Amino acid sequence: MSTGTDRDDKAVVGTEPTATSAGEPAGEPVGESAGEGTDAKGRPFAVVPAKVPWLEVAVFVAVAVILAWLVCLPLWLSGEGLGNLMLVQVSGMAMMFTPLIAVVVAMLIQRRRSGEPRSSIVRYLGIWPLRPFGRVLGMTALAFFGVFVLVAVAYLLGAAFGWMQVDLFGLSGFKAQLAQLPGLEEIPVLIAVVGYLAIMALGSLLNITVAFGEEVGWRGWLLTSLRPLGTWPALLIVGVIWGLWHAPLILLGYNFSRPDITGLAFMVGGCVMVGILFGWLRLRTGSVWPAVAAHAALNGSAGMLLGLFIDGSAQAPDMALVAFLGVSGWIVSAVVIVVLLVTGQFRRQPELGFKRPRLVAAPSGSAEANVTVTSHGEVL
pLDDT for 352 beyond 80: no
- Which pLDDT score is estimated for 17? 41
Q: Is residue 294 part of a domain?
A: yes
Domain assignment of residue 164, yes or no: yes
**Amino acid at position 187, single letter:** I
Question: Is residue 97 included in any domain, yes or no?
Answer: yes
For residues 220-235, give the mean pLDDT.
Answer: 96
Instruction: Tell me, yes or no, whether 346 lies in a domain.
Output: yes
Structural domains of the chain, count:
1
Of residues 125 and 32, which shows the higher confidence score?
125
* Backbone angles phi and psi of 39, in degrees to 5: -90, -170
Domain holding 348, by residue range, is 17-353
Any domain includes 361: no
Residue 374: is its pLDDT beyond 70? no
In the structure, what pLDDT confidence band is assigned to residue 179 with cuts at 50, 70 and 90?
A: confident
Q: What are the two backbone dihedrals, phi and then psi, of residue 337, each rounded to the nearest 5 degrees? A: -60, -40
* pTM to 2 decimal places: 0.82
Q: Is residue 375 part of a domain?
A: no
In this predicted model, what pLDDT tens digit does every residue of 33-85 receive, in sequence order?
334 455 555 555 557 788 999 999 999 999 999 999 999 999 999 989 999 99
* pLDDT tens, residue by residue, 76-133: 999 899 999 999 999 999 999 999 999 999 999 988 887 665 668 899 999 988 878 8
Compute the mean pLDDT over every residue in the chain, rounded to the nearest whole number: 83
pLDDT in tens, 284-319: 999 999 999 999 999 999 999 999 999 999 899 999
Find the range with the poorest average confidence among 6-10, 183-187, 265-269.
6-10
Confidence of residue 164 (pLDDT cuts 50, 70, 90): very high
Q: Grade residue 202 by pLDDT with cuts at 50, 70 and 90.
A: very high
Q: What pLDDT is attached to residue 325?
A: 98
- Asked whether residue 362 is assigned to any structural domain, the reply reads no
71: in domain: yes
Q: Say whether pLDDT at 196 is over 60.
A: yes
